[in-house]
């Protein structure tokens, strides 16, 4: 029988792979200035430190690091995450309420695995992170978009959705959101924890950018207001140490975490021990925050340069003013189409991600997501000038 007659699972109906990851493939052109990625700067990746740590850890405890590990995670990392979470995210949890995972993407996958049957509903910010939307769609969830404004997701709309639609989950990125860069206000954080408990909705609080703050005041996590256990917290070291190591973590109430552990047994058995041990060393030896401070200095300058130039960029009607993270979200004048203009921009040597991809219901073709972490200040100036040229030539 011809292999073309193979039939795939219905979860793939309507799924075509990440549009962003396809765009990235087009950008491997020398000299391209890319505002499209969401990657850390090369300078922010601690290669020498990791080289020394990897060698030291493997010489010191290689026999156990190279052996099978527990699905529940590398015990020292679970322990060192406890004070980190208390200190940085303002919540108490026990080591056995923490599951190290293979990047926080896997945390989202495991939450869906634990909770979502086809047709189940998940409330999401509109716009939100594309990768996790694809995850939810592969679990055949129905996504319920909730509008966001300068203070993050609108909790008035959210309560209506909870009341009427009874979603199983809310997916929210509270700090320096992807793609908008916005931060959820303190009041809304409290309110979301309260609504979750009132309506029995699991909140997947995805907070990978928090440590990249360049201005303003830190806010406590939604999880810190969680008294009943409905908030599951997704953490990542991809933006502050290395995405290539694939280490994140999930904190959740015991019964939910147990289901995620069982799900993880057949996802990848456990997260690579060496990678967990490297992250543990960053936490345990106090290496993380000094490293974060170093990279924030540079990112702040990059962001401020881009914000300054956006104010003067032709065709840009409005844009967000983040206090940290990796992204600025802008809207071009009504009628300008960012998907079509991308081709021209790429020809001119500059790229962004059209904002429409981040909207669960599509539309918003005039929106663009700009990343500033991967470019030098000089590149940002050159790239913004190119955008200005293209947008000004295509004004509407």
- 160 to 189, contacts with its own copies by CB under 8 A? 168
d(CA 78, CA 95): 5
Q: In which region does residue 258 sit, left (phi positive, over 0), alpha (psi from -120 to 50) or beta (all else)?
A: alpha
Whichever of 105 and 366 has its CB closer to its own copies, that residue is 105
Structure tokens, 163: 């009341």
> Residue 76, interface with its own copies (CB under 8 A)?
no
Given candidates 35, 69, 174, 320, which one binds its own copies under the rule CB under 8 A?
Answer: 69
> Residue 62, interface with its own copies (CB under 8 A)?
yes
Write down the least CB distance from residue 304 to its own copies, Å: 24
Whichever of 142 and 267 has its CB closer to its own copies, that residue is 267
Whichever of 326 and 330 has its CB closer to its own copies, that residue is 326
> Positive or negative CA dihedral for 62, 64, 70, 75?
negative
> Residue 143, interface with its own copies (CB under 8 A)?
no
Write down the least CB distance from residue 16 to its own copies, Å: 8
> Residue 360, interface with its own copies (CB under 8 A)?
no
Whichever of 24 and 309 has its CB closer to its own copies, that residue is 24
Q: How far is CA 379 from the centre of its chain?
A: 24
Instruction: Tell me the C-alpha to C-alpha distance, in Å, between residue 395 and each of 33, 36, 279, 344, 369.
Output: 22, 22, 48, 13, 18
* R_g of the chain computed on alpha carbons: 21
> Residue 157, interface with its own copies (CB under 8 A)?
no
Among the listed ranges 116-124, 216-224, 282-290, 378-386, the one in contact with its own copies (CB under 8 A) is 116-124
> Residue 28, interface with its own copies (CB under 8 A)?
no
d(CA 91, CA 174): 15
> Residue 288, interface with its own copies (CB under 8 A)?
no
> Residue 195, interface with its own copies (CB under 8 A)?
no
Given candidates 144, 184, 272, 346, which one binds its own copies under the rule CB under 8 A?
Answer: 272
DSSP states of 164-198: HH--SEEEE--SS-TTT-----HHHHHHHHHHHHH
d(CA 136, CA 134): 5
> Residue 15, interface with its own copies (CB under 8 A)?
yes
d(CA 59, CA 51): 12
**Number of residues located near its own copies, criterion CB under 8 A:** 93
Instruction: Tell me the C-alpha to C-alpha distance, in Å, between residue 329 and each of 35, 174, 375.
Output: 11, 15, 17
Whichever of 52 and 149 has its CB closer to its own copies, that residue is 52
DSSP 333: P
> Residue 394, interface with its own copies (CB under 8 A)?
no
Given candidates 14, 30, 31, 59, which one binds its own copies under the rule CB under 8 A?
Answer: 59
Whichever of 202 and 375 has its CB closer to its own copies, that residue is 202
């Amino acid at each position: 029988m011809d292999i073309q007659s193979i039939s795939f699972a219905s979860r793939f109906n309507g799924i075509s792979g990440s549009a962003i990851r396809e765009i990235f493939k087009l950008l491997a052109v020398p000299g391209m200035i890319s505002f499209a990625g969401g990657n850390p700067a090369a300078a922010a990746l601690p290669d020498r430190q990791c080289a020394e740590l990897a060698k030291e850890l493997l010489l010191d405890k290689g026999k156990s690091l190279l052996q099978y590990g527990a699905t529940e995670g590398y015990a020292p990392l679970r322990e060192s995450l406890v004070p980190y979470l208390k200190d940085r995210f303002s919540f108490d949890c026990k080591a056995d309420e923490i599951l190290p995972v293979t990047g926080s993407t896997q945390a989202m996958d495991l939450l869906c695995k634990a909770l979502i049957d086809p047709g189940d509903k998940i409330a999401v910010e509109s716009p939100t992170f594309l990768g996790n939307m694809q995850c939810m769609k592969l679990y055949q969830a129905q996504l319920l978009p909730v509008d966001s404004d300068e203070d993050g997701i609108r909790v008035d709309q959210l309560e209506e959705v909870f009341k009427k639609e009874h979603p199983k989950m809310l997916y929210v990125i509270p700090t320096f959101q992807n793609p908008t860069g916005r931060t959820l206000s303190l009041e809304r954080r409290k309110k979301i924890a309260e609504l979750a408990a009132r309506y029995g909705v699991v909140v997947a609080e995805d907070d990978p950018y928090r440590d990249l703050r360049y201005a303003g005041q830190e806010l406590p996590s939604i999880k810190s207001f969680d008294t009943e256990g409905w908030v599951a917290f997704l953490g990542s070291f991809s933006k502050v140490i290395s995405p290539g190591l694939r280490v994140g973590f999930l904190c959740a109430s015991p019964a939910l975490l147990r289901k995620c552990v069982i799900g993880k047994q057949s996802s990848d058995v456990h997260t690579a021990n060496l990678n967990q041990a490297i992250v543990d060393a960053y936490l345990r030896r106090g290496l993380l925050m000094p490293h974060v401070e170093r990279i924030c200095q540079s990112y702040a300058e990059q962001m401020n340069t881009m914000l300054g130039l956006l104010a003067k960029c032709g065709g840009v009607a409005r844009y967000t003013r983040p206090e940290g993270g990796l992204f600025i979200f802008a809207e071009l004048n009504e009628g300008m189409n960012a998907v079509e203009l991308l081709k021209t921009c790429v020809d001119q040597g500059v790229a962004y991600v059209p904002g429409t991809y981040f909207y669960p219901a599509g539309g918003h073709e005039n929106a663009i997501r700009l990343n500033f972490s991967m470019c030098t200040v000089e590149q940002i100036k050159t790239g913004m000038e190119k955008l200005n040229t293209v947008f000004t030539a295509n004004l509407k």
